[in-house]
Amino acid sequence: MTASPERRTELLATAAEVFAAQGYNATTVRKIADAAGMLAGSLYYHFDSKESMIDEILSTFLDELWAGYDAVLDAGLGPRETIEALVTESFKQIDRHRPAVAVYQKESRHLAAQPRFGYLTDLQQRFEEAWLGTLERGVKEGVFRADLDPRLTYRFVRDTVWVAASWYRPGGRHSPEEIARQYLSMVLDGIGVRT
């Protein structure tokens, strides 16, 4: 017996919320089932394990993230425009997949050690190459400052974008695009008043 696509999506959304709040190790199938309003045994009709659930949560988020990133990277934009588009796409994904982002941030290092989740290490390397490569290209082309270490800049930008998953709530005062616009203004233009 398999779940309808809608029910499966609902169950995965519930599981993502539970994993995000309690962590992978502390989350049991029973806790997910309780949150979904069903018996633990019934959840096994839909998923064979909590590992399968977290795998589907992460792979769905990362597939969508990379579909957006690939479109940006294939667009032939300049370095600044590429960074702007990557940041905007990141905030859109935080809006769509906030619990999955939180799970990824908390659990990816631990999960990547398991063969089933080897793709997490591969995608982290690909993520670094895309962002760091764009920053290095920007320095080479005179778009970004040469006096800043590109790797340090990459880490700062990466961490300050993705930490937004800890405070961002969909449907809040600012859209993901507006948050990205303000973030980019701060990062690329500074917060000091121009004189």
Domains in the chain: boundaries? 54-189
Q: What is the pLDDT along the chain (195 residues), one digit of tens a residue?
A: 455 888 899 999 999 999 999 999 999 999 999 999 999 888 988 999 999 999 999 999 999 999 999 999 999 999 999 999 999 999 999 999 999 999 999 999 999 999 999 999 999 999 999 999 999 999 999 999 999 999 999 999 999 999 998 888 888 899 999 999 999 999 998 877 776
List CB contacts of 17: < 8 A, sequence separation 6 or more: 35, 99
Instruction: Report the CATH number of the 54-189 domain.
Output: 1.10.357.10
**Full-model pTM:** 0.90
